[in-house]
Amino acid sequence: MRGNKEGPIPLTRIYRELIEGIPGPGRLKEGLALYFWPRVAGKELAAKARAVRASNGILWVKCPDPAFSYNLHFFKKEILKKYRKILGAGVIRSVRILTGEVEDPLPSGEENYPCKVAGPSGECIPPPEVKEVKDAGLREAYIRFYNLCKRVERMPREA
């Protein structure tokens, strides 16, 4: 798809606009914080620490090593800054670091991708921009996310 005079619209801009369209911080955006942890943390950090929960604007990160947990405290501002850039302000307001046994980490975005997630029931309408996405797994995830946002738009708003 092409914009008026801009040329192709970057996928990052499209998903950012979709995320911004979701009202308030909410659980969906907090769930996306867990999904984006490998991207925010980077490959090396995500291999050593795992985002285990996000609720009420707090991201809980678990590390097996106390020394590593201590050092991770120095990166809190950078982590929050990256989440602000991806999810918008106010979604993740604080990072809490726990020390303890970390279960087998989830595969990162590149490894074992795509992972199957139950899709929405009902019709699945692909957005026009999806033609530009080369990765089949990413394309499928984008379509599911797009349709979820469309269903949220159609939901009646409470006054």
pLDDT per position as a tens digit, 77-120: 999 999 888 887 888 999 999 988 877 544 444 444 344 444 44
Range 138-147 average pLDDT: 76
Q: Which pTM was predicted?
A: 0.53
- Residue 106 is predicted with a pLDDT of 46
The mean pLDDT of the chain is: 75
Domain 11-154 homologous superfamily, CATH:
DnaA, N-terminal domain (3.30.300.180)
Report CA 22 to chain centroid distance, whole Å.
Answer: 13
Pairing state between β 94-99 and 50-55: unpaired
- Domain extents in the chain: 11-154
